[in-house]
Chains A and B, each alone.
Chain A
Amino acid sequence: MVNLAHLQKSTIMQLRIKGNIAVSDSGFVFDPSTGDSYSINPIGVEIIQLMKQTLTEKAIVDAIVERYQTEPQTVEKDLYDFCNLLVKHQLADRI
């Protein structure tokens, strides 16, 4: 069994989506300061929208778990990966 204990701590990664990042309902993300664009899936869009509401990571996980009836550990892991991607591509800042 995979030990997810470390994620419980490391996923406490509060992020702020950069204010000028444009996200369409279809999952098109545009960073106007670099001209880079990305495609994300519907759950990615949902997560970004939740982040824009400045929800805590716990609240985001709860919202996704409730909506999709899935395991919190799975959501936390995916959210952790997704947050890292957002930071890597400079779409979000750690706060």
Chain B
Amino acid sequence: MKQQLTVAVSGLNNTDNPGPGIPVIRALRDWKGKDIRIIGISYDNLEPGLFMRDLVDKSYSVPFPSGGTENLMLRLQYIHEIEKIDFIFPNFDAELFTFMKIAPELEKMGIRTFLPTSDQFEERHKYRLSEFGEKYGLSVPLSITVGAISEVPAALNNFEYPVVVKGKFYDAYIAYNLEQVYSYFHKIQAKWGLPIILQQFVYGNEYNVVALGDGKGNTIGAVPMRKQYITDKGKAWAGITIDEPRLIEMTHKLISANKWRGGMELELIKDKNGTLYIVEINPRFPAWVYLAVASGQNMPAAAIQLAFGEKVAAFENYDIGKLFVRYSWDNIVTLSEFQQISTLGEL
């Protein structure tokens, strides 16, 4: 692999519901011996990462994947002609499927990716979690997918309140009665469409694992974290690496069984009896991935190495008891910068 690399990264929305783009970029900036040029890819002109000029060398607006793959491909071709991209890191759940679809075309253009296969991506969907747990022998809370509001009452017969109402990509609300379930159903449907997932709420502490699978069944990295401070959106605002071998074992078991390729995040809850339930599997690195990097496992860099066919040894250790604490920062942006990204789609 050459020493100078140009890497395009999306998910620059470093908001109160942050995307993984900026942490992934920080990981790549920490990659010793590599000279990385970062190309930001944005869907919104106010994504904070666009204006973090010390981290992002150049940014381009791209059309939403929902607008069709052709438009996205045309835009990426244009960006590639200028920037000669070596690798692309899509970081939004909602764009991953599109990128998986266009990955062969990108590859022909000389742009590598390191993404899960369609089967892997599909089977870990929230609305297939029960099936997934059964297939791989993992504990998951009861989940029922509903495609219409008329199906809700019958589905609820299987649950005890509180029930978690989840969107297929994002958003989750805890409902304590039928009225709340209906209200959240409509709210999520308006934003993310159907289906909606009803999931049994599990009382307990939340744990997460960030991991990297090599696509052959090997776990290249895995770092567990306990959320220390949670925002009203349920996002970790502070977290600490922990030593819980069962979390690592579960991750290895899952990756070994489904041969996961790429970054992933497992979201788990430990109930009062100590049982660990997987509540979600995200098919990409999480926004807290930099904690893993700071703890000794630079998984984003390893993902690129794997994409280039390099032999990557699995990380064996990480620092336990290392914390991340997020903060907000009012970045001052000039009107000309905002104008440039708004009108020209480049910054």
Contacts and interface: CB of A to CB of B under 8 A. Distances in A.
Contacts of A22: 321
Contact of A33 (B225, B228, B239, B242): B242
A34 B226 contact: yes
A3 interface: no
A18 B286 CA distance: 31
B46 interface: no
A30 B243 contact: no
A1 to B, nearest CB: 39
B240 interface: yes
* Interface of B, helix, strand, loop or mixed by DSSP: strand
Interface in B225-283: 225-226, 228, 239-244
Nearest to A31: B242
A7 to B, nearest CB: 29
A20 interface: yes
B250 to A, nearest CB: 14
Contacts of B225: 35
Contacts, number: 22
Nearest to B243: A32
Contacts of B242: 32-35
Interface residues of B, number: 12
Interface in A19-63: 20, 22, 30, 32-36
A20 B321 contact: no
B205 A32 contact: no
Contacts of B325: none
Nearest to A32: B243
Contacts of B244: 33-34
B292 to A, nearest CB: 15
A33 B321 contact: no
B109 interface: no
A20 B242 CA distance: 11
Interface string B296-339: 00000000000000000000000011000000000000000000
B22 to A, nearest CB: 24
B98 to A, nearest CB: 36
A30 to B, nearest CB: 6
A33 B239 CA distance: 13
Contacts of A35: 225-226, 228, 239-242
A37 to B, nearest CB: 8
B321 A30 contact: yes
A20 B244 CA distance: 11
Interface in A43-90: none
Contacts of B320: 32
B175 to A, nearest CB: 28
Contacts of B226: 34-36
A34 B205 contact: yes
Interface string B49-90: 000000000000000000000000000000000000000000
Nearest to B225: A35
A95 to B, nearest CB: 20
A34 B239 CA distance: 11
Nearest to B207: A35
A36 B239 CA distance: 11
Give the interface centre of B205, B228, B239, B243 by most chain A CB atoms within 10 Å.
B243
22 contacts: A20-B243, A22-B321, A30-B321, A32-B242, A32-B243, A32-B320, A32-B321, A33-B242, A33-B243, A33-B244, A34-B205, A34-B226, A34-B242, A34-B244, A35-B225, A35-B226, A35-B228, A35-B239, A35-B240, A35-B241, A35-B242, A36-B226
Given A32-B243, A35-B228, A35-B240, 9 more contacts: A20-B243, A22-B321, A32-B242, A33-B243, A33-B244, A34-B242, A35-B226, A35-B239, A36-B226
| Top 3 closest pairs, chain A to chain B, by CB | A35-B226, A32-B243, A35-B242
